[in-house]
Amino acid sequence: MTKDMTPLLGYRLKLAQHALHRRMEEALRPLGLSPAQYAVLAELNARPDQTNADLAERAFITPQSMQGVLTKLEGSGLVERRQDARHGRRQLARLTGEGRLKAEAANAAVMRVEDLLEAAVHPACVQDAVDLMNRLHNAMCE
């Protein structure tokens, strides 16, 4: 006989993240950004002048996929890339002025979602929840 899978922790983790992703999409849609695009803007806002490969690694996607994201953001005028003076192949990405404004607006929208998420646990337990996520993450990475 097969067990009922629905009460399992992995399934619940998937459900929670799926709902969060939907909420993120909704929060960012008015700004014309996808979650992936937002992640790049936030990252470049915190640490300018990163290569495509750097950004891909931080976002857990391949450099090929990040290429598409970055090219689109560049086409929208939110990001600019220029040659690394000391490296013939590297291209360093940074936010434009418009990109910085967009990143700040997106951060505000995302923080509203984060606040809703954290409101689901007692204020004193937020760190416990973060620790739990870290333990689950580490368990899946060996």
Best CA proximity match to 102, nearest among 32, 36, 52:
32
Work out what residue 116 binds among a copy of itself, DNA, none; the CB cut-off runs from 5 to 8 Å by kind.
Answer: a copy of itself
**Separation of alpha carbons 82 and 16, rounded Å:** 39
**Separation of alpha carbons 37 and 35, rounded Å:** 5
**Interface pick for a copy of itself out of 42, 54, 76, 90 (rule CB under 8 A):** 42
Task: Considering the complex, state which of residue 65 and residue 134 has its C-beta at the smaller distance from a copy of itself.
Answer: 134
* 20 near a copy of itself, judged by CB under 8 A: yes
CB of 134 to a copy of itself, least distance (A): 6
Which residues is 91 bridged to in the sheet?
83
User: Tell me, what DSSP letter sits at residue 54?
Assistant: H
Task: Considering the complex, state which of residue 49 and residue 130 has its C-beta at the smaller distance from a copy of itself.
Answer: 130
Can you point out the beta strands (E) in 8-142? Answer: 79-83, 91-95
Per CB under 7 A, residues contacting DNA are 34, 36-37, 51-54, 60-65, 67-69, 72, 86-91
- Give the relative orientation of helices 63-75 and 35-46 as an angle to the nearest 10 degrees: 80
Q: Which residues bind a copy of itself (CB under 8 A)?
A: 2-5, 7-10, 12-24, 42, 45-46, 60, 103-104, 107, 110-111, 113-114, 116-121, 126, 129-130, 132-141
